[in-house]
């Protein structure tokens, strides 16, 4: 009889986990959850190959019983999000998976009691998607609320793209234009001398990431130039209410080279 590997996960922050799965359901739709010795992670690329989404969660943010052997499962994030979102008053979520059956068990604790669901797994090509480590020219840690307000402003005023610009004196700005409007919004003021650099992004993908959250109080924006994907990364808040150094959710978005490029 083959060895059976099982994993048990207790997620205390149901709302944040639901927001993360919402992000995956919006762009990836279905993909793999990888269970490792220290936690689990999810990664996947959208159909247009414009963005890659990844989430890592471990001991900082959940109670984890690791499997004897690492394994992965194929999941519909659309259906998983529907289950989690239907339990909006939940206080915690438990996930159970093993290599000897074809389901993901989900237990949700609510004030009225515990709800249990069994989600059928799906078969997918097991392509593991990793983003190589890189040194970014620009890397800024910002208040998530400031980033959200700025990108919301771009979307509300009808700009399909915007340009992230770090100016020489240190300010980080969002610039955009439509047939009638030119916007130049300061996200963060700075008085330190910086390398001047800019990159253009689709409003749709940046808006989708920041609006699915908030995942945490801080958002790190990193970019280099128009051939390297721009990274929006939110470190998650751990069980001790401190920002985790290891657990996060992030999106890598391919830059736009001209306003006429399609997403």
Domains in the chain: boundaries:
6-120, 138-253
Which residues is 9 bridged to in the sheet?
A: 64, 95
DSSP 60: T
Which pLDDT belongs to residue 58?
A: 95
CATH architecture of the domain with range 6-120:
Roll (3.10)
Q: Whole-prediction pTM value?
A: 0.90
Note the pLDDT of residue 258: 67
Fold of 138-253: Proliferating Cell Nuclear Antigen (3.70.10)
User: Cis omega (within 30 of 0) on the bond before 165?
Assistant: no
Question: What pLDDT, on a 0 to 100 scale, did the predictor assign at position 263?
Answer: 42
Please list the residues that pair with 231 across neighbouring strands. 222, 252
The token pair at 29 is: 């739709």
Q: Tell me, what's the pLDDT at 129?
A: 63
Quick one: residue 240, left, alpha or beta (phi over 0 = left, psi -120 to 50 = alpha)? alpha
pLDDT in tens, the chain (263 residues): 457 889 999 998 999 999 999 999 999 889 899 999 999 999 888 888 889 999 999 999 999 999 999 999 999 999 999 999 998 888 889 999 999 889 999 999 887 778 999 999 998 776 656 677 788 999 999 999 999 999 999 999 999 999 999 998 889 999 999 999 999 999 988 878 888 899 999 999 999 999 888 999 999 999 997 778 999 999 999 988 899 999 999 999 999 876 554 44
pLDDT computed for residue 49 by the predictor: 84
Give residue 177's pLDDT. Answer: 94
d(CA 174, CA 203): 11
Q: Tell me, rounded to whole angstroms, the distance of Cα 82 from its chain centroid.
A: 18
Residues with Cβ within 8 Å of residue 37, at least 6 apart in sequence: 66, 67, 70
Measured distance CA(100)–CA(103) in Å, rounded: 9
Helix (H) or strand (E) holding 54: strand 51-58
pLDDT (0 to 100) of residue 128: 58
Q: What's residue 190's pLDDT?
A: 82
Q: How many CA atoms lie within 13 A of 160 on its CB side?
A: 8
């Amino acid at each position: 009889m083959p060895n059976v590997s099982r994993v048990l996960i207790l997620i205390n922050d149901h709302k944040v986990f639901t927001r993360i799965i919402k992000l995956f359901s919006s762009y990836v739709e279905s993909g793999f959850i990888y269970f490792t010795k220290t936690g689990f992670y999810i990664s996947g690329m959208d159909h247009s190959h414009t963005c890659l989404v990844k989430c890592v969660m471990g001991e900082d943010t959940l109670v984890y019983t690791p499997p004897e052997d690492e394994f992965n499962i194929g999941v519909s994030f659309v259906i998983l999000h529907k289950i989690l979102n239907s339990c909006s008053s939940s206080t915690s979520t438990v996930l159970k998976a093993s290599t000897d059956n074809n389901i993901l068990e989900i237990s949700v604790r609510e004030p009225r009691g515990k709800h249990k669901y069994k989600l059928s797994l799906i078969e997918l090509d097991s392509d593991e998607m990793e983003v190589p480590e890189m040194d970014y020219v620009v890397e800024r840690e910002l208040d998530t609320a400031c980033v959200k307000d700025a990108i919301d402003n771009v979307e509300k005023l009808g700009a399909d793209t915007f340009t992230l610009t770090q100016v020489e004196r240190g300010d980080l700005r969002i610039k955009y234009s439509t047939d009638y409007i030119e916007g130049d919004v300061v996200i963060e003021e700075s008085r330190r001398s910086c390398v001047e650099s800019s990159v253009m992004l689709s409003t749709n993908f940046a808006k989708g990431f920041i609006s699915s959250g908030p995942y945490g109080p801080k958002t790190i924006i990193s970019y280099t130039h128009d051939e390297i994907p721009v990274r929006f990364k939110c470190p998650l808040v751990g069980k001790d209410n401190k920002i985790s150094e290891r657990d996060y959710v992030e999106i890598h978005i391919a830059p736009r080279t001209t306003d006429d490029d399609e997403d």
